């Protein structure tokens, strides 16, 4: 065993850790030395969004000690920035240990004389963002691992605008967290009088905000009987989605009972992720049996939404995140214009790996469309930059996230579910489905087909392997892919774009991020982006072709799928 690992283990065995933890270490020493090494080979990294990892004993695990040390570092930085008058809001989701982690977080903040607004029970992540803004807090935390498997938990840290932190605060908080060298540096208790419990009164305010996002309440009223199937996938969406849909006037909502109860073991799914067909299979079956109009599912902390619809053959399918986003962006642009409430300074925001079809839709409508780095904190940062000058309507990214209106600053599946159902009602009022609308947009703007492949490199060498992959792409970019010339290489880490045909270079005016994009002569775009929270690298593929009519949909889709398959094979990603 490496010396540093042994030092970490001995520090825990000799330090102020509870006896159950010490006994657990000794058991791992006997039964699972490799697992013990993985649990202690490094400190769980406090990244730019906070913590996320496997739950368990060790410096590289989510537990009360790593949570407490992170909170102490964050508390120290908040007090450096804002002085003695500081408040935070804290929420947690359905995951195992989330209530305990939230309680520990609240106690550490309170022991540092920080006022804490702590939700009385589980709540969706977007409500936490809303709450920070409502109370004028300087920060906030939600204990969640989003859509990760049940073994994981996490800790998302927020700033005073209700968004996750960007530079310089993200790096400065990391520095403060890294200064906490021992559990003895943590103020664990003694400020309980600073903790205020909150709950239904915030729910009411939040739901009123969501109701105010409706563009066509009269259409919702007319189509109130829209047959909606909803699954919270054992998560927090059950707390607010039914109320949001009722607020929009929908009266025919059916909850997937097997997945309605919050449960951190996620008994009916492997991955509690609405992107996965397996996860949505129970909902799809219910929607089919009921001949529903639409199916919606939210992840455990209710910031991502997946939707199912019937295609032109009457088959139930799941839309991908790009399709959902382009439909939502188009609706907010088109419906506001039709209603006569569009503003000359309206703007929308998307991320660099989200379909470029949205740019085309916005451009044709005369609406500014800004592209930012992946993550809603960057969408929030752009809203902040444009505040008072441009009117933000909607933001989103391909990973099943949407953010409507500026009262919150993180992705919000609660408001997304409500607006998507309004979209379905709007189209049904015209005698068609959301899928029909999607094909109409493809005919008008071109058929954009996207795909995503995630490659995980587990263990101690995973991060190094991913770094080597990126370095090779950076130094030796392909000249052709699928027989088509690679025209441009966009390197967001170096903040530089290069035309590989002419050698011309230009600056990219975005913060540094370890992302590479290859743009091909035929409009194909391939992006490579390592995850900031997991030993994973993601490859995004976007290909497109004209769609002459709805009757050509299947043929063009097949051709585009085959093209992506050839690219994946050529890049040796499978």
**Residues assigned a catalytic role:** 146
Contacts of 142 (CB under 8 A, 6+ apart): 90, 91, 92, 93, 125, 128, 155, 156, 158, 301
End-to-end CA distance of the chain: 33
What does DSSP say about strands 401-404 and 447-456: parallel, antiparallel, or unpaired?
Answer: unpaired
What does DSSP say about strands 484-491 and 496-499: parallel, antiparallel, or unpaired?
Answer: antiparallel
Beta bridge pairs of residue 538: 454, 529
Q: Is 101 exposed, middle or buried (0-12, 13-18, 19+ CB in 10 A)?
A: buried
Distance CA 14, CA 381 (A): 44
Contact 81, 138 (CB under 8 A): yes
Report how far apart, in Å, the C-alpha atoms of 120 and of each of 47, 93, 138, 220, 512 are.
Answer: 27, 11, 20, 33, 39
Contacts of 118 (CB under 8 A, 6+ apart): 89, 90, 102, 103, 106, 195, 196, 197, 198
Peptide bond into 168 cis (omega under 30): yes
Distance CA 512, CA 353 (A): 15
3-state secondary structure (DSSP) of residue 454: strand
Distance CA 415, CA 94 (A): 20
Contact 254, 229 (CB under 8 A): yes
Distance CA 439, CA 436 (A): 5
Q: Which of 395, 396, 336, 388 is nearest to 366 (CA)?
A: 336
Distance CA 37, CA 461 (A): 13
Radius of gyration of the chain (CA): 24
Q: Is 148 exposed, middle or buried (0-12, 13-18, 19+ CB in 10 A)?
A: buried
Strand boundaries in 457-530, DSSP class E: 480-481, 484-491, 496-499, 505-507, 516-520, 525-530
Tell me the backbone φ, ψ of residue 377, rounded to 5 degrees.
Answer: -65, -30
């Amino acid at each position: 065993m490496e010396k540093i690992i042994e030092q970490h283990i001995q520090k825990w065995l000799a330090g102020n850790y509870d006896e159950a933890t010490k006994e657990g270490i000794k058991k791992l020493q006997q039964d699972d030395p490799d697992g013990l090494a993985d649990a202690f080979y490094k400190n769980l990294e406090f990244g730019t969004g906070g913590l996320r990892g496997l739950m368990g004993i060790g410096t590289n695990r989510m537990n009360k000690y790593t949570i407490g040390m992170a909170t102490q570092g964050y508390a120290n930085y908040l007090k450096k920035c804002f002085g003695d008058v500081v408040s935070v809001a804290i929420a947690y989701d359905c995951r195992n240990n989330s209530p305990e982690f939230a309680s520990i977080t609240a106690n550490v903040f309170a022991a540092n004389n920080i006022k804490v607004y702590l939700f009385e029970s589980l709540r969706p992540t977007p409500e936490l963002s809303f709450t920070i803004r409502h109370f004028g807090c300087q920060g906030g935390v939600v204990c969640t691992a989003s859509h990760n498997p049940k073994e994981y938990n996490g800790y998302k840290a927020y700033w005073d605008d209700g968004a996750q932190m960007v530079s310089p605060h993200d790096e400065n908080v990391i520095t403060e967290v890294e200064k906490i060298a021992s559990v003895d540096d943590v103020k664990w208790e003694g400020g309980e009088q600073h903790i205020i419990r909150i709950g239904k009164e915030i729910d009411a305010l939040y739901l009123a905000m969501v109701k105010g996002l409706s563009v066509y309440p009269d259409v919702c009223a007319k189509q109130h009987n829209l047959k909606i199937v909803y699954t919270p996938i054992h998560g927090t969406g059950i707390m607010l989605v039914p109320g949001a849909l009722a607020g929009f006037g929908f009266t025919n909502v059916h909850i997937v009972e097997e997945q309605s109860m919050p449960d951190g073991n996620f008994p009916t799914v492997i991955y509690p992720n609405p992107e996965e067909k397996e996860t949505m299979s129970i909902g799809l079956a219910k929607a089919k049996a009921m001949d529903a109009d639409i199916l919606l599912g939210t992840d455990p902390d209710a910031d991502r939404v997946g939707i199912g619809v019937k295609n032109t053959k009457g088959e139930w399918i799941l839309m991908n995140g790009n399709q959902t986003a382009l439909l939502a962006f188009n609706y907010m642009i088109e419906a506001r214009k039709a209603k006569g409430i569009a503003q000359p300074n309206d703007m929308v925001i998307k991320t660099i790996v989200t379909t470029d079809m949205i740019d085309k839709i916005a451009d044709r409508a005369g609406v500014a469309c800004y592209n930012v780095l992946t993550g809603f904190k960057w969408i929030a940062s752009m809203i902040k930059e444009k505040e008072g000058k441009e009117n933000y309507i909607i933001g989103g990214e391909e990973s099943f996230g949407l953010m409507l209106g500026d009262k919150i600053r993180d992705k919000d599946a609660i408001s997304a579910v409500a607006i998507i159902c309004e979209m379905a009602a709007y189209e049904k009022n015209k005698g068609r489905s959301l899928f029909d609308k999607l094909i109409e947009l493809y005919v008008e703007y071109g058929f954009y087909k996207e795909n995503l492949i995630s490659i995980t490199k587990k263990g101690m060498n995973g991060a190094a392997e991913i770094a080597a992959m990126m370095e090779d792409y950076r130094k030796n970019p392909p000249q052709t892919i699928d027989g088509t010339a690679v025209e441009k290489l966009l390197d967001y880490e170096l903040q530089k774009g290069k035309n590989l045909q002419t050698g011309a270079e230009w600056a990219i005016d975005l913060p540094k991020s370890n992302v590479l994009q290859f743009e091909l002569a035929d409009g194909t775009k391939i992006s490579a982006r390592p995850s900031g929270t997991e030993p994973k690298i993601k490859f995004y593929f976007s290909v497109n072709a004209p769609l002459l009519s709805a009757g050509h949909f299947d043929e063009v889709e097949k051709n585009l799928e085959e093209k992506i398959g050839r690219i994946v094979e050529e890049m040796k990603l499978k």
